Amino acid sequence: MRDLNEILSQSSNSENQCFVRVALPIRHMDLLDYRCESHESAGVGCRVVVPFGRGTRLGIIVEQQHESNIASEKIKPIISVIETEPVVGEDLLRTLQWTSQYYHQSLGEVLWAALPNAVRTGRSLQPNVELGYCLSEIGRDFDIGNLSRARVQKAIVEILQTATQPVGQALLSNTGKSWRSAIRQLISKKLVEAQPLKSPEYSGHAELIQNLTDAQVVAVEKIVNTLDIYRCFLVHGVTGSGKTEVYLHVIDKILQSGGQALLLVPEIGLTPQLEQRVNRALGITVSCFHSGMTDIQRHKTWWGARTGAAKVVIGTRSAVFLPFKKLAIIVIDEEHDTSFKQHERVRYHARSVAIHRAATLKVPLVFGTATPSIETIFAAQMGRLEKIDLPERATKIRMPSMKLIDLNRSLLRDGVAIQILTEIEKRLHRREQSLIFINRRGFAPVIICRDCKWIANCVNCDAKLIYHISDQRLHCHHCFARFEMPSQCPDCMSDRVVRLGEGTQRIEQLLRSEILGARVMRIDRDSTQSHAEFERKIQQIQNREVDILIGTQMLSKGHDFPNVTLVCVLNVDAGFYSMDFRATEHMIQQVLQVAGRAGRFEKPGNVYIQTMFPDHEVFSSLLTHDYLRFARRELDQRKLARQPPYSHYALLRANSPQAGKEFDFLNQAHASATSILRRQSCSDIRLFDIVQSPIQKLSNRYRAQLLVSSENPRTLRHFLGIWTPLMEKIPQRGKLRWSLDIDPIDFM
């Protein structure tokens, strides 16, 4: 029985208070209930400070209710409302809620992943906006002859005299290093005023190609005809078939009708090239969003999306969460690329989130690629998306010819066929460029004792060490530890310890010594760490300051290298040994991508692929550029093996610094799964055995995993909905960590 006082105190409060559910960025955390005085008028989407534990936390209101299931006196009041303006709008919140539910991550974590750092940490929603400058009334009548002794001030006034709108930093900074102090002096002389920069209205395209091919015209029409409804398209066309041109024409229509466009690109594919191309074609300045930018720059794009000032955003996966004011289309270029999946914290796939986002907003979604993911091909077969083909190169330039080099019958030098070296030399004489693709960093991937077969492994990881020539040490590519190169075998004291195999550095050394006079450039994560450096190198390649490029996948995506006429792919075979069922798919995608870099303009290209398995069936599709034939075979195999897209996976991973604890956890999780399955008789859930992860130890943590699958995604979701709360209750000892990965892409 509740006592009378309690009931009275509740009813007297109930008029001027409501309850809110608040999301906090904490793993496995449900929404928390707080009380809110009505005069605080904080609605859904607002940031609030709430008591939590012994301290306070920043949270976001995600629900408002007039009553709560919890006894009112147990509910603490919120401490303060940061602003009454919602940080996330209703449509975005719905997508974030879906993301949270689908990926079994707390809504708070998902929300935080969607916010710029400044907003997450409680600072102002609006970034410091850049000011523009214009002449004051006095300034307009001013005789600039009076400024002849102040060169920079004079130059600034001259620019402002011809401007019809406030002028920003980009233009003014050209007047000289001291432009800021010159501006300050002009302002103090009351000649110049500062004003917020206006984002110009879209004035129509500047430089779109007018003579689209028939296939391009059809593609543009199909997409443009569905602008107000959700519809998903796959634009499938070889590299150079004019997909980007199609996006540009569609985006042009979107901008004309006042909408915003989002163009998602893979991690590395984001290049100044694409940005410049869009700017030029549409006559606007696009906004970017990627990890190479500063927090402040990203915050500005976030704000621009929100206010509508950013009309076109080009971004990597997390841009799918930008709070657009009027988003009218999402384009995902290179949709097959695995970098659209995030592997840490919130493990979402931007492609899946984009589908939800576009469907909520009722706008079209366009996937574009030369090599669609098997999942996307399947979706097209099932009629969930419409496939539009661009069967030929827009410029009528032939596709590069593909040739295999059988490693079993070739003379090699440091792993490179002599034939390839000869071809590179020919290109050098013709002043054309060659691209050597090898997806392995470092100099040599195996350090082995010839006598006892000891292999250098990382002490922290279950992984081989890679020799790097730059510091002549052994590097672990997993935990980044470095070790001395042993002069003797630590096991048998033999001094026959050798460096086997090749990485980018050994190939660089080989080509420098074999191809005399060639200018060689290596592009991998060791040689090219910053975004700016990457851009500089790409520019050098374009300026033909380089003859031979050696690179990892950093080079394979999205760039045009018009003068590259030879592409050599060195180590495709790794794809055949992998335990990952998608390895062949990724291999053929990568080879076709990198092949697409060759001979994109006047000059036809040649591609050479080295392999030990020239008879492998995947090559018959590769050599004829027949990706769909590969896809059909792959779909057949996956159907037989009951693999995605014919079934849906969820991977439970656990790791612990104490060997065995990861298995303890997974055993308990397995037991609770078994008991759910027994009770619920979910016969179409497959619970696999617990296994060690392919990299069993990583950074001194022992790792294991448990796979669950179902042919029916709803059954799987239902099951996970019961299972995950049970896992959260398993007592965790020994600094155990676990995570659930829905639709996992990598199984390492």
Interaction pattern, residues 389-428, with ligand ADP; x per rule: CB under 6 A: -----xx---------------------------------
Residues in contact with 209: Cβ distance below 8 Å, sequence separation at least 6, in sequence order: 245
Closest CA to 129 of 259, 291, 301: 301
Structure tokens at 10: 């509740």
Quick one: what does residue 394 bind among Zn ion, ligand ADP, none, with the CB cut-off 5 to 8 Å set by partner type?
ligand ADP
Quick one: what does residue 239 bind among ligand ADP, Zn ion, none, with the CB cut-off 5 to 8 Å set by partner type?
ligand ADP
The sign of the dihedral angle between the CA atoms of 668, 670, 675, 676 is positive
Quick one: what does residue 240 bind among Zn ion, ligand ADP, none, with the CB cut-off 5 to 8 Å set by partner type?
ligand ADP
Quick one: what does residue 237 bind among Zn ion, ligand ADP, none, with the CB cut-off 5 to 8 Å set by partner type?
ligand ADP
For 366-385, the DSSP string reads EEEESS--HHHHHHHHTTSS
Of 258 and 490, CB closest to Zn ion: 490
* Candidate segments 238-246, 433-441, 477-485, 661-669, binder of ligand ADP by CB under 6 A: 238-246
Of 370 and 511, CB closest to ligand ADP: 370
The answer to whether residue 478 forms part of the interface with Zn ion (CB under 5 A) is yes
The answer to whether residue 187 forms part of the interface with ligand ADP (CB under 6 A) is no
Q: Which residues pair with 366 in a beta bridge?
A: 233, 331
* Candidate segments 145-153, 207-215, 543-551, 587-595, binder of ligand ADP by CB under 6 A: 207-215
* Candidate segments 205-213, 257-265, 434-442, 622-630, binder of ligand ADP by CB under 6 A: 205-213
At 496, the amino acid letter reads R
The answer to whether residue 239 forms part of the interface with ligand ADP (CB under 6 A) is yes
Closest CA to 318 of 365, 269, 264, 274: 264
The three state secondary structure string of 695-720 is: EEEECCEEEEEEEEEECCHHHHHHHH
242 DSSP assignment:
S
CB of 277 to ligand ADP, least distance (A): 8
CB of 298 to ligand ADP, least distance (A): 26
Structure tokens at 706: 């448990």
Only one residue has tokens 């935990």, namely 479
**Total residues binding Zn ion (CB under 5 A):** 15
Quick one: what does residue 458 bind among Zn ion, ligand ADP, none, with the CB cut-off 5 to 8 Å set by partner type?
Zn ion
Among 101, 187, 230, 454, the residue binding Zn ion under the rule CB under 5 A is 454
CB of 451 to Zn ion, least distance (A): 5
Q: Which residues pair with 655 in a beta bridge?
A: 703, 737
The answer to whether residue 489 forms part of the interface with Zn ion (CB under 5 A) is yes
CB of 246 to ligand ADP, least distance (A): 7
The answer to whether residue 583 forms part of the interface with ligand ADP (CB under 6 A) is no
The answer to whether residue 491 forms part of the interface with Zn ion (CB under 5 A) is yes
**Total residues binding ligand ADP (CB under 6 A):** 15
Interaction pattern, residues 422-451, with Zn ion; x per rule: CB under 5 A: ---------------------------x-x
The answer to whether residue 212 forms part of the interface with ligand ADP (CB under 6 A) is yes
Quick one: what does residue 479 bind among ligand ADP, Zn ion, none, with the CB cut-off 5 to 8 Å set by partner type?
Zn ion
For 511-546, the DSSP string reads HHHHSTT--EEEESTTT--SHHHHHHHHHHHHTT--
Strand order from edge to edge, sheet including 17-23: 32-37, 17-23, 55-65, 47-52, 80-81
Among 216, 260, 371, 505, the residue binding ligand ADP under the rule CB under 6 A is 216
The answer to whether residue 271 forms part of the interface with ligand ADP (CB under 6 A) is no
Of 369 and 552, CB closest to ligand ADP: 369
> Strand runs (DSSP E) across 334-460, as ranges?
364-369, 386-390, 401-406, 412-413, 416-417, 433-437, 446-449
The answer to whether residue 208 forms part of the interface with ligand ADP (CB under 6 A) is no
Residues 42, 48 contacting (CB under 8 angstroms): yes
Residue 466's φ and ψ, nearest 5 degrees, are: -110, 130
CB of 422 to ligand ADP, least distance (A): 30
CB of 618 to Zn ion, least distance (A): 32
In angstroms, what CA-CA distances link 555 with 417, 427, 551?
A: 21, 19, 6
Structure tokens at 165: 């709108």
- The dihedral region occupied by 5, where left means phi > 0, alpha psi between -120 and 50, and beta the remainder, is alpha
For 68-94, the DSSP string reads -SS-GGGSPBP-EES-SS-SS-HHHHH
In angstroms, what CA-CA distances link 227 with 286, 363, 366, 681?
A: 21, 6, 11, 44
The answer to whether residue 175 forms part of the interface with ligand ADP (CB under 6 A) is no
CB of 393 to ligand ADP, least distance (A): 7
Only one residue has tokens 């384009």, namely 331
Residue 229's φ and ψ, nearest 5 degrees, are: -130, 160
Quick one: what does residue 460 bind among ligand ADP, Zn ion, none, with the CB cut-off 5 to 8 Å set by partner type?
Zn ion
The answer to whether residue 209 forms part of the interface with ligand ADP (CB under 6 A) is yes
* Candidate segments 243-251, 421-429, 454-462, 571-579, binder of Zn ion by CB under 5 A: 454-462
Interaction pattern, residues 493-512, with Zn ion; x per rule: CB under 5 A: -x------------------
Interacting residues toward ligand ADP by CB under 6 A: 209, 211-213, 216, 237, 239-245, 394-395
Interacting residues toward Zn ion by CB under 5 A: 449, 451-452, 454, 458, 460-461, 476, 478-479, 481, 489, 491-492, 494
